[in-house]
Amino acid sequence: MSESDRRLRRAAAQRLESLSAAGVRQISKRRVARPDVVEAAMEIGATRATDNSGGTVVAKSLAVLQQEVAACTRCELLSQQRTQTVFGVGNPQARLCFLGEAPGADEDRQGEPFVGRAGQLLTKIIEACTLKREDVYILNVLKCRPPGNRNPLPDEVHNCRGYLNRQLELIKPEFICCLGSVAAQTLLETDTTIGRLRGKFHDYRGIPVMCTYHPAYLLRNPSAKRDVWDDMKRLMRELGIELE
């Protein structure tokens, strides 16, 4: 077996594992790893960064904003209790952003969003979509961990909203995926439940937004994985990737 064949086998095995974690139990053999699907996925992570020299400028601007966030004390309680702020991670020119609600204990320790159990599941979902974490950009509404992992308070969301808006203005994603009710309701400025928001596209300043359940919810309710996968298929279709 050639090295190329071994790489293909490893990639196929990893994709099957990611599909299973994402809740996909049946797949069509003829649509897995199609060349056009692979090419579309590669374009999502690479085209804007390689073809646009502005990527370095965006990264530097994000770094400046990250320093501003790190010095923020607008929420006295959160700024006193945090280990560090959790700004965001990924491709600064990503076509797709995943938006969560707030850091948890693992994220507070490591300074990176979605690294705990819910984050590991999100990674599997991203990989099931034939992408990698470094192809997309992952961020939260809040940049500090709320005590006890409680939901963010309205004042906390308000204090962080400007940072979120500026992040998205710099990245200029073509699509945003909101994970959970806090992210969706904050970005879209609505009190509509996530159950009613998911499954269709919404608008944020001209950017299409897909809302779906938070990975932490999926850990408690595995049966909802099918709904999330349906949402991902709709989203990926708009990005040029057909998933089974």
Asked if residue 212 belongs to a domain, the reply is yes
Number of domains in the chain: 1
Residue-by-residue pLDDT tens, the chain, 244 positions: 555 455 545 555 555 565 556 666 544 443 444 445 445 555 555 545 444 556 889 999 999 999 999 999 999 999 999 999 999 999 999 999 999 999 999 999 999 999 999 999 999 999 999 999 999 999 999 999 999 999 999 999 999 999 999 999 999 999 999 999 999 999 999 999 999 999 999 999 999 999 999 999 999 999 999 999 999 999 999 999 998 7
Sign of the alpha-carbon dihedral angle for 205, 78, 213, 185: negative
Structure tokens at 72: 């923020």
Asked if residue 117 belongs to a domain, the reply is yes
Whole-prediction pTM: 0.82
Q: Which pLDDT score is estimated for 22?
A: 61
Asked if residue 244 belongs to a domain, the reply is no
- Give the chain as a 3 state SS string: CCHHHHHHHHHHHHHHHHHHHCCCCCCCHHHCCCHHHHHHHHHHHHHHHHHCCCHHHHHHHHHHHHHHHHCCCCCHHHHHHCCCCCCCEECCCCCEEEEECCCCHHHHHHCCCCCCHHHHHHHHHHHHCCCCHHHCEEEECCCCCCHHHCCCCHHHHHHHHHHHHHHHHHHCCCEEEEECHHHHHHHHCCCCCHHHHCCCEEEECCEEEEEECCHHHHHHCHHHHHHHHHHHHHHHHHHCCCCC
Q: What does the alpha-carbon distance between residue 104 and residue 82 come to, in Å, rounded to a whole number?
A: 10
Q: Which pLDDT score is estimated for 244?
A: 74
CA distances from 168 to 16, 75, 91, 133, 226 (A): 32, 22, 12, 17, 28
Asked if residue 31 belongs to a domain, the reply is yes
Q: Which pLDDT score is estimated for 44?
A: 53
Q: What does the alpha-carbon distance between residue 233 and residue 135 come to, in Å, rounded to a whole number?
A: 17
Asked if residue 103 belongs to a domain, the reply is yes
**Domain range enclosing 177:** 3-239
CATH of the domain at 70: 3.40.470.10
